[in-house]
Amino acid sequence: MLMLIKSFFLALSWRSFYMIQIAVGFLEQWKLMEHEVVAVIGPQSSGIAHIISHVANELHVPLLSFGATDPSLSSLQYPYFIRTTHSDYFQMYAVADLVDHYRWREVIAIFVDDDNGRNGISALGDALAKKRGKISYKAALPPGASKSYISDLLNGVNLMESRVYVLHVNPDSGLQIFSIAKKLGMITSGYVWIATDWLPSVLDSMEQVDTGTLNLLQGVVALRHHTPDSDLKNKFFSRLKNLKGMQKSSFNSYALYAYDSVWLAARALDVFTKEGGNISFSFDPKLQDNNGSMLHLSSLRIFEGGPLFFPTILGMNFTGLSGPIQFDGERNLIHPAYDVLNIGEFGSRRIGYWSNYSGLSVIAPEVLYKKPANTSTSNEKLDSVLWPGETIATPKGWVFPNNGKPLRIAVPLRVGYLEIVSKDKNPPGVKGFCIDVFEAAINLLPYPVPRQYILFGNGDRNPSYSDLANQVASNNYDAAVGDITIVPNRTRILDFTQPFMESGLVVVVPVKEVKSSPWSFLKPFTAQMWCVTGAFFLFVGAVVWVLEHRHNPEFRGPPKKQIMTIFWFTFSTMFFSHRENTVSGLGRFVLIIWLFVVLIINSSYTASLTSILTVQQLSSQIEGIDSLISGTQPIGVQDGSFARKYLIDELNIQESRIVSLRDQSAYADALMRGPKGGGVVAIVDELPYIQLFMSNTNCKFRTVGQEFTKSGWGYAFQRDSPLAVDMSTAILQLSENGDLQKIHDKWLLKHDCTAQLDDIDSNKLSLSSFWGLFLICGIACLLTLIAFFVRVFCQYMKFIPEPEVADEEVQSSRSRRFMKIGSASFKDLIDFVDKREKEIKEVLRQKSNKRRRSQSIDGQSSSPA
């Protein structure tokens, strides 16, 4: 136990933690191993831990390290190694979450070139890659680097693009790096410094941090091991202050882990002995001293109980000063967590926490452990940060490299569609729609962008846009500006901005004017529509005649005249010129509905006939991309366009059918000549080109079918370029304030051909467009007819004479009704229907009076004298 306590107090001085050289440290640990030991607490650095772990494996002695944070110290390679602190693996993931939280994509890593530094930065690279970030440059410092070396290194990284620095160094050189960076003006507005746990450990070990040191560190963000506040920790520090001879009262998190390591070994040893564990040692015959060796290998002893004592340590579960002491399946302490600190002129301020359970948060991890895990980036929050330069605005994290080189922008040198982009004699040397949009977006950025436009292509033909994308990806250019379509194979190697022009592949074919024929007036309706319309004219005329025949003298007369009246009345309603007036309520109801139907039919007929007389008709049978796929005729594409590769690879069209066309004149010539004249049957190109082509040719060509791909034009940048994000925001601003549309109208809007009329067949109106109207009209006619005949039937029942029956007692109302119907003939019924309404009402009135007089006489004869 004395040796365990000794190791603990060695950890209380942070400077001794790193100032011990590896050689001296190794010899001290080796001398310790010469004794019969059951556990070793230490070493105090990852470098020594790599060496001592091999010895611990041979001697079966558990090695408890509270300071070796190197992620490469794995349990597979070192089966007797136990890390009693948290690995830098988790710390680097915390740094990656910080970088992602502030939407930075690149960092520069400054680290000490030893095992701990290299392996830690390697873990940082892996963590950033999962967040789509990366380490743009690794600046390695040799241990004990001189001031001039550090100054040269910082001057070099200051010329680079990234302004986010991750400092993963030793305490003995860390503050010196900040001092030199301060002199170089690198701790000012626009810079970001993220320090790993070495910096809070140094500050926490100081009795009082002087103002000069805090001024060096103003705006730095740092990570510190999170140790929860507890009564146990508070009582410990109270007792420690009262100890005699204790000169140091400030301790960092590693001191707490060292203290817990001592208690871990002590508790495990107590459990091991109580469970009957045997503490015995034996010699290893393989360990022999060579001549003159100072290592005393023969004095080393193998701990026989090591294979049983080791799992006892891993099974311990208690709460220490640093928090819960418990190991997971990979021998790591559970609940790795860090405090996120912001250092200012008055000291460090905690702005949040990080844990692998909940990510970044302003709530303490021990509180979040009681809730369901939620690592969504939308829930990650931190308090405000005072960055270098005493600004609260989050730095953008990058600048243009301070090496005198402007942004190299490749511009395709086109031979056609020069309105899109073309060469210009005046500065900046290029012009067109794409250039104006790019310049407008650049002007919206809150910082200047030095740039140089470089034409890409020989000028004889359109350049290959795939080659242009590869040149940018190969770092021959920084960006590409032009009509660059955003397609999947390009997004794999480049970053694109928000599309500034919607695009997609369409099919264009020639059209011709259709001359009017003598029978054009029949073309607005299909044959079925003509038949149904004519039938309804006759049907409605007959219905109106039936409803008006008994009331209206204009609908009476000889049969020939009545038939002529039906035809005249019904067809004259087409022009609303019928001279016969409707008298009955049912007739007027039917006529109102029919006039509404006629109004709709007339309007539709007029519109359709107008379009047919001015329509353009296709000069080919191509109806869309499906017709092209199933055909064998040649297809035109723009030279250099991705459409050629798309048709061959995606739609399996034979390459021999694809014809590359240079410019708009070649388009028009190939379409007019057609396949038989050595031209093409159709052209497949992007919609913006086709709209411009049709506009320049006075709409002699038109698109068929639907747009069969959806994409857009964007500006291409190298992968992870921060300028792509800012330019996307600027393009959205242009779209919202209307400037993007103004630029479009300036260059591309000449004559709108989108309102072209369809061909004749598509203008024909069929029954499917009007069956609802006919259905309503038909139902209305049937309902009125039913109402009419019910009324007539009721009148007829009252009109026919009562039949004479001998036995009056057997009569009933139902039998009398049926006897009336049976005694009347069909001819009588027709004659009754044909009678005028006034005559029927007069007869019924007379019969009613006669019945009342008869009932009055019968009543007088039956009364008593």
Q: What is the pLDDT of residues 608-633, one digit of tens each?
A: 777 766 655 555 678 889 989 998 99
The reported pLDDT for the residue numbered 647 is: 93
CA distances from 112 to 133, 177, 302, 682 (A): 22, 11, 36, 65
Q: Is the pLDDT of residue 594 over 70?
A: yes
Average pLDDT over the chain, rounded to whole? 82
- Letter string b/e over residues 578-589, b meaning 16 or more CB atoms within 10 A of that residue's CB: bebebbbebbeb
Q: Are 217 and 190 in contact (CB under 8 A)?
A: no
Q: Comparing 192-196, 303-307, 398-402, 618-622, which segment has the lowest mean pLDDT?
A: 618-622
Least confidently predicted of 291-300, 563-572, 802-811:
802-811
In degrees, rounded to 5, the angle at the alpha carbon of residue 365 between the alpha carbons of residues 363 and 370 is 100
| Percent share of the chain, pLDDT over 70 | 77
pLDDT for res 132: 85
Query: What would the two tokens of residue 659 be?
Result: 């014809």
- In 676-791 the beta strands, taken as DSSP E runs, fall at 682-686, 701-704, 711-713, 716-718
Residues 6 or more apart whose CB falls under 8 angstroms from that of 692 comprise 417, 419, 420, 664, 748, 750
Report pLDDT digits (tens) over 825-861. 556 666 666 666 666 666 666 666 666 666 666 555 5
pLDDT at 552: 65
Cis-peptide into 446, omega within 30 deg: no
Question: Which pLDDT score, from 0 to 100, does residue 12 have?
Answer: 34
Average pLDDT over residues 505-524: 74
Residue 717's CB: how many other CB atoms inside 10 A? 24
Count other C-beta atoms under 10 Å from residue 569's C-beta. 22
27-63 pLDDT tens trace: 455 555 556 788 888 787 888 888 888 888 888 889 9
End-to-end CA distance of the chain: 148
Question: Above 80 in pLDDT, residue 544?
Answer: no
**73 pLDDT above the threshold of 80:** yes
Map 383-406 to HEC letters. CCCCECCCECCCCCCECCCCCCCC
Instruction: Report the pLDDT value the prediction gives residue 648, as an integer from 0 to 100.
Output: 93
| Overall average pLDDT of the 291-313 stretch | 75
Least confident span in 96-105, 310-319, 557-566: 557-566
Non-local (6+) Cβ contacts of 831 within 8 A are none
| CA gap 243, 220 in Å, rounded | 35
From the number of C-beta atoms within 10 Å of its C-beta (0-12, 13-18, 19+), residue 472 rates as: buried
Tell me whether residue 56 is exposed, middle or buried, using C-beta atoms within 10 angstroms of its C-beta: 0 to 12, 13 to 18, 19 or more.
Answer: buried
Q: Name the pTM for this structure.
A: 0.64
Torsion of Cα atoms, 538 then 540 then 541 then 542, to 10°: 90
From the number of C-beta atoms within 10 Å of its C-beta (0-12, 13-18, 19+), residue 361 rates as buried
Q: In this model, does residue 285 exceed pLDDT 70?
A: no
Residue 506: helix, strand or coil by DSSP?
strand
Q: Indicate the pairing of strand 505-513 with strand 616-618.
A: antiparallel
Model confidence band, residue 469 (pLDDT cutoffs 50, 70, 90)? very high
